Amino acid sequence: MLYAIISEDHPGTLAQRLAARPDHLARLEALHEAGRLIIAGPHPAIDSDNPGDAGFTGSLVVAEFSSLNAAQQWADADPYLDAGVYARVTVKPFKRVF
């Protein structure tokens, strides 16, 4: 089943986000290579693909997992959590219609 992982950043954590980004992307690449990643990306803090110093307000990942518990465990191991970037992470089932 698909699950949406919706994360919100603590304000002012762009430096921590950038430092943890390689490890964060490696986990997403593994999901992609396994054919389980549907979409992933950050929410820019301003109306721009490249927000510069404005940074980001969070992230969205939609991917396939065997259960809600498995999706939650994957989300709980995100390097952005360890780096103090994410203030909150919500994981919930997602039904793809289109």
Tens of each residue's pLDDT in the chain, 98 residues: 999 999 999 999 999 999 999 999 999 999 999 999 999 999 999 999 999 999 999 999 999 999 999 999 999 999 999 999 999 999 999 999 99
Decide: pTM greater than 0.85. Answer: yes
Sign of the four-CA dihedral 39, 42, 45, 46: negative
The one-character DSSP state at 66 is S
pLDDT at 28: 98
* Dihedrals phi, psi of 91, to nearest 5 degrees: -120, 130
The Cα–Cα gap between 75 and 89 comes to 8
* Dihedrals phi, psi of 95, to nearest 5 degrees: -105, 115
pLDDT at 64: 98
